[in-house]
Amino acid sequence: MADAQILWDYHQMHHEPRNTDIAIGLGSHDIGVAEHTADLYHQGRFPLIVFTGSNAPTTLEVFPRGEAIHYAERAEALGVPDTAIVLEQRARNTGENFTLTRDLLDREGIRPRSATVISRPYQQRRAYATCKKLWPELDVICSSRLQSLTDYIASIGDHDKVLNMLVGDTQRIWVYADKGFAIPMSLTPGAKAAYDRLVAAGYTRRLV
């Protein structure tokens, strides 16, 4: 678990919470994203939430009606009014989460200057890099529920799935930057070594 912990720590952006114009909740298999978004809404951090996401292979079984819909339902169950939620239901990857959200808001005449991007804890760095590439004028901070890696694995209930996702998100940091999908982000020597050891150990299911 030591190598997984290194990657877990690497992906945290450690942004200080502050008020922003909107929140963007990135769809995934993790309902904790919706719950953390609701917590921040009740703290007054933003007046409007966009939940974005259709389905990926990892979410079809968990959220059969689409990630954004299930997220919205969970947030509403936690007291967020439906008038504070906008649904973007077509995005199938992180890039589309941002481009389709921007287009949707633009059609509604909403042009935010700042956003809190809420994601799985180990998606923060890639989400930030993607947003800054595709929506560079947006002042963005990243946020996730504060959890230890051990607690996160317990909440998902699948150790191998989490480690495979961690390894896959790490690889995407440089692969997607090389493809022009994201801005470059530095990879620490310790994170690269941990990644290499986990790949050698067989955690390769989410590599691209």
Q: Within a domain: residue 206?
A: no
* Span 79-84, average pLDDT: 98
Q: What is the mean pLDDT of residues 52-64?
A: 87
| Assigned domain for 75 exists | yes
pLDDT over threshold 90, residue 56: no
- Whether residue 58 is predicted with pLDDT greater than 90 in this model: the reply is no
Give the number of domains in the chain.
Answer: 1
Check pLDDT > 90 for residue 66. Answer: yes
User: Which band of pLDDT confidence, cut at 50, 70 and 90, is reported for residue 202?
Assistant: very high
- Mean pLDDT for the chain? 96
* 189 domain residue, yes or no: yes
Q: How many C-beta atoms surround the C-beta of residue 42 within 10 A?
A: 11
The answer to whether position 208 is within a domain reads no
Q: Does a structural domain hold residue 133? A: yes
Note whether residue 82 is domain-resident. yes
Taking only the tens place, the pLDDT of each residue in 15-24 is 999 999 999 9
- Residue 180: inside a domain, yes or no? yes
Would residue 207 count as lying in a domain? Answer: no
Q: What is the 3-state secondary structure (H, E, C) of 138-186?
A: CEEEEECCCCCHHHHHHHHCCHHHHHHHHHHHHHHHHHHHHCCCCCCCC
Structural domain that includes position 106: 2-200
Q: Are 199 and 207 in contact (CB under 8 A)?
A: yes
> Would you say the pTM of this structure is higher than 0.85?
yes
**H-helix or E-strand containing 86?**
strand 85-88
CATH number at residue 32: 3.40.50.620
